[in-house]
Amino acid sequence: MYDAIVIGGGHNGLACAAYLAKAGRKVLVLERRHVLGGAAVTEELYPGFKYSTCSYVVSLLRPQIIRELNLAKHGLTILPLECSFTPHLEGPGLVRWPESAKTRDEIARYSKRDADVYPEFGRAMLNLARWVKPIIDMPAPDPTSFMPQHLSAMAKLAQRFRSLSPEALSQMTKMMTLSAVDFLDEWFESPILKAPMAVSGIIGTFLGVRSPGTAYVLLHHYMGEIDGAFRAWGLSKGGTGEISLAIARAAEQLGADIRVNAPVAKILMKNGSAQGVVLENGDELKAKIVISGCDPALTFNGFVGRDHLDSEFLSHLDRYRLRGSSGKVNLALDALPEFTCRPGRGLHMKGDIAIAPSIDYLERAYDDAKYGEFSKRPYMNVVIPSLTDPSVAPPGKHVMSIFVQYAPYHLKGGADQWPQQRDAFGDTVIKTLAEYCPDLESKILHRHVLTPWDLEKEYGLTEGNIFHGELSLEQLFFFRPAPGWARYRTPIDRLWMCGSGAHPGGGVMAAPGRLAALRILKEGAV
Amino acid sequence: MPKPTPFHARIQPLCESYDWSIWAGQYAVRAFDVCHEREYNAFRQATGVIDVSPLFKYDIRGPDAAQYLSWITVRDLSTLKVGRSTYLCWTDEQGKVIDDGTCSRIAEGHYRLTAAAPMHHWFTDNARGYTVTIEDVSERYAALAIQGPTSRDVLRSISRDIDVDGMRFFGVQEGMLAGIPAVVTRTGYTGDLGYELWVEQHHALTVWDALFESGDRFGIHPAGLNALDVCRIEAGFLMMGVDYTGAFDALIESQKSTPDELGLGWMVKLERSPFIGQSALRYERKSGPSVSTVGLEIDWVALEELYGRHGLPAALPATAWRDSVPLYKSSRQVGRATSGSWSPILKKNLALARVDSRHSKLGTCLDIEVTVEWARATVPARVVKTPFYDPPQKKAVDSNV
């Protein structure tokens, strides 16, 4: 009998298992697919080309996890991305470099004022990020509880708030309430600069750059920078799956058992308490506790069953917003394409490439999605990892990862329209990108298109939400995934949560997995 | 004025940062860019190329070459086979380390020794009675280190007759590189898979051009000393003049070190033919060294807290540091950290240190001095094993590792 069974071999499930195993607990991880990683996965879908099929960049993977689990020894290397490139149909586009002087020259082409303000903005964000950062490294306290530990954690938070200058407090409030565009309007004048900055506020959400609340997510982009790294965004060598595999190797070395091709059908319940799991093949596996790395909808509607839950929790669950809004196109390329606005193969191609020419372009892309269609000209975030990490493609050839928004899960005719729409969606993406690099189409050896429907069916992400639930304020911190249940416990006795649907949320951080394990151990659950 | 190395014509235009250092009287790049990060990543995930021509190089030839080298260095080189190289050091009569380097047996009766400092005089003085010739070939040969996980692919792409895949760690081969006669050794200073290429200086540019042309698809990138310094600390390699003072440079006795003190005792076999320093080292071996060289991992959480007390985020120098810092055990100074660096790959704050041997056991917790806002404080640092970073491909022969 196991101390704990973890459902789902994604990076969080594996991290949770590794920490439990490190504390001497007997853990089993069950992964439905043939490959570990969940949405942090590398798959060789075309011979010689390793796609980071879903998640493709990493910013906030907690450095203490790399240290504590010795992930470098288990093969993990994070390679920083060079820059952020925004190509335009006319003019040279915009590149934001890690070197501030170079960025200044780039921005000054469009606004001398913005060029001055840009580093100021960075400092202000860094200051706020420092305030918020400890939150992602601690379990969320329960604001309604009078337990001493919660009271003192709340008091500490209040203390931190009070220590903010009035100016910072005002920034913080704006950040929590404004739209990304409104927030940026307070700082910058050039729409060419604002557009690629604003997109950080909408990634993975079903909101537009002008929707209130999107400013907060901008802040997340500055948090990675205070972890002792020069640049916040990076690629995992060998693809994003290497992060999961490194954690898996660490977990196995610490004694955890990991099984692939082991789909869970349901959680074994007895007297309102989780006893273990039943696999799809009928095998019953018992454990003292069950930990779900899957999203709240799949966990409770799928594995637990609604009849085990009270109506209040169910109503929270039903209002929990998943609404996937993005898709992914992965390409194998025979050679590197060329961007018309910046010809040649320079460093500008070694960063992330944002198709976000203007605020209106982004808002129009959202307009399509509002009425149940994928964007005719979508926002795209393109990365060519093989330029930074030659190991993911044969020599001289390349892999291109294209994150696409918006692709609403609920199409006008229903989500099940997606299989018929998949090719049209892929064509739209290629056609739009080809406006910026006309030779793209002639270089494509293989194309792999993932719609939100595919993300749900293949990767178990309900409604194709890449973060296991939107990263909007009302679904974060004390409220993730439901008020009163932000500390990895669930209304079901002996069932815990450790995935991105738990605090502090999505992204390849592995923080929910680690914090859940530490919480479970601290509470003596096993 | 410093002299250009044989690769200068190619390196100079690439060094956009103008960040030059002088290494043994020659121009060496600290970082090609304003930050060395890109170069560091080339070493750790693709291939970094660094010009190591300023190394001192000596060709030792003759029937007595093996006995002679076994006399002047601490290693018994009579067992070094043709096609093999080895890391070694040499000491004075008191067993104090003068310098360290590699010795390669290129052919029967032909060895090449590298050194950080000029040694011709000392090598010649100690050659009396041996039938050997000692030639200073420092200027005759240009040298490039190509280091990193894809360096095998890079090397394979410019060589026809060298058995790149069959070459073991510390292997040596002669052959043609881009049509140029060269010696290739599987050695380096990064602790990863890597090679050093030795060619006559007038062929240097041909080899450079070939490397960068065919290495492009394997992510080849020129690298400077700053990136190398971070890598060598991750690899736990000592640097003469930084982590220890060579016996010829030391002003006082306590500045000198024996191989045992530097953790190089493993290369000293005392029960063999006589060598310089042997009796002193034999004497030391009985009692054990009083000072030891160790690796330290500096507690990151404590460092963050210390900075936090000043309202600051933890800040680290962007490059490796090499100004010694005191180490304490229960408030008594027990040694000093000699160099260190933040390790981007391990996410750890590392240092190399010389400590009183009583406090050198693995796991020992010491306190390292840290100055924040001009106020002195200490944070815990734990003695850990070196190399800190030791990737499997370093020694592997199989190219799939």
Asked if the Cβ–Cβ distance from B316 to A231 is below 8 Å, we say no
Length of chain B: 401
Q: Which DSSP string corresponds to B252-310? A: SGGG---TTTTT-GGG---SSS--TTHHHHHHHHHH--SEEEEEEEE-HHHHHHHHHHT
Residues paired with B352 in a beta bridge: B295, B339
Q: Which pair of structure tokens corresponds to residue B71?
A: 């006399």
Residue B53 CB burial class (10 angstroms; 0-12, 13-18, ≥19): buried
- Give the closest residue to A355 by CA, choosing from A425, A403, A408: A403
- Residues of chain B positioned with their CB less than 8 A from the CB of A390: 46, 150, 217-219
Q: Decide: A411 and A327 in contact? Cβ < 8 Å.
A: no
- Helix A241-253 and helix A11-22, axial crossing angle in degrees, nearest 10: 20
CB-nearest to A395 from B44, B217, B345 is B217
pLDDT single digits (tens) B142-191: 999 999 999 999 999 999 899 999 999 999 999 999 999 999 999 999 99
The confidence score (pLDDT) of residue A230 equals 44
The backbone torsions φ and ψ at residue A479, rounded to the nearest 5 degrees and listed phi first, read: -105, 5
Asked if the Cβ–Cβ distance from B37 to A130 is below 8 Å, we say no
Asked if the Cβ–Cβ distance from A391 to B347 is below 8 Å, we say no
The confidence score (pLDDT) of residue A150 equals 67
Cα gap B347→A229, rounded to integer Å: 9
Cα gap A380→B83, rounded to integer Å: 54
| Percent of chain B's residues with pLDDT above 70 | 99
Cα gap B4→B296, rounded to integer Å: 37
Q: Dihedral angle at the C-alpha atoms of A349, A352, A358, A359, nearest 10 degrees?
A: 180
List of E strands, A260-406 = 264-270, 273-279, 284-292, 326-333, 352-355, 379-383, 398-405
Name, in order, each residue with C-beta under 8 angstroms of A369's C-beta and a sequence gap of 6 or more: A206, A325, A375, A406, A407, A408
Asked if the Cβ–Cβ distance from B37 to A80 is below 8 Å, we say yes
- Residues of chain A positioned with their CB less than 8 A from the CB of B34: 99
Name, in order, each residue with C-beta under 8 angstroms of A459's C-beta and a sequence gap of 6 or more: A33, A38, A39, A41, A54
Kind and range of the H or E run holding A96: strand A94-96
Asked if the Cβ–Cβ distance from B219 to A390 is below 8 Å, we say yes
Q: Decide: B147 and B185 in contact? Cβ < 8 Å.
A: no
Cα gap A249→A71, rounded to integer Å: 9
CA neighbours within 13 Å on the CB side: how many for B151?
Answer: 34
Name, in order, each residue with C-beta under 8 angstroms of A98's C-beta and a sequence gap of 6 or more: A80, A82, A83, A230, A231, B35
Cα gap A197→A114, rounded to integer Å: 13
Length of chain A: 526
Mark the ranges of chain B whose per-residue pLDDT is less than 50.
Answer: none
Strands A444-450 and A234-236 turn out to be: unpaired
Mark the ranges of chain A whose per-residue pLDDT is less than 70.
Answer: 141-151, 154, 157, 160-161, 221-232
Looking at the complex, does the CB of residue A390 fall below 8 Å from at least one CB of chain B?
yes
Looking at CA atoms only, how far is residue B117 from chain A in angstroms?
Answer: 35
The confidence score (pLDDT) of residue A440 equals 97
Cα gap A325→B197, rounded to integer Å: 53
CATH superfamily of B57-136: Aminomethyltransferase beta-barrel domains (3.30.70.1400)
- Residues of chain A positioned with their CB less than 8 A from the CB of B46: 389-390
- Helix A418-434 and helix A452-459, axial crossing angle in degrees, nearest 10: 120
Asked if the Cβ–Cβ distance from A395 to B344 is below 8 Å, we say no
CATH 2.40.30.110 location in chain B = 290-388
The residue type of B61 is R
Q: How far is CA B243 from CA A128, A245, B143, B352, in A?
A: 40, 37, 24, 7
Looking at CA atoms only, how far is residue A459 from chain B in angstroms?
Answer: 29
The confidence score (pLDDT) of residue A146 equals 66
Looking at the complex, does the CB of residue A99 fall below 8 Å from at least one CB of chain B?
yes
Chain A residue with minimum CA distance to B35:
A99
The confidence score (pLDDT) of residue B400 equals 56
Chain A residue with minimum CA distance to B312:
A130
The architecture CATH gives domain B290-388 = Beta Barrel (2.40)
- Residues of chain B positioned with their CB less than 8 A from the CB of A226: 313
CATH 3.30.70.1400 location in chain B = 57-136
CA angle A288, A291, A292 (to 5 degrees): 150
CATH 3.30.1360.120 location in chain B = 8-55+139-223
Cα gap A330→A401, rounded to integer Å: 5
Looking at the complex, does the CB of residue A130 fall below 8 Å from at least one CB of chain B?
yes
Looking at CA atoms only, how far is residue A342 from chain B in angstroms?
Answer: 20
Cα gap A210→B342, rounded to integer Å: 41
The confidence score (pLDDT) of residue A324 equals 94
A contact residues 394-433, partner B, Cβ 8 Å cutoff? 395-396
Domain B8-55+139-223 has CATH 3.30.1360.120: yes
Going by the DSSP 8-state scheme, the letter that residue B357 receives in this structure is G
Cα gap A207→A203, rounded to integer Å: 9
Chain A residue with minimum CA distance to B151:
A390
Cα gap A504→A499, rounded to integer Å: 9
Q: Which pair of structure tokens corresponds to residue B337?
A: 């950290």
What ipTM was assigned to the predicted interfaces of this complex?
A: 0.78
Residue B152 CB burial class (10 angstroms; 0-12, 13-18, ≥19): buried
- CATH code linked to domain A2-40+54-79+236-320+471-522: 3.50.50.60
Strands A27-30 and A257-259 turn out to be: parallel
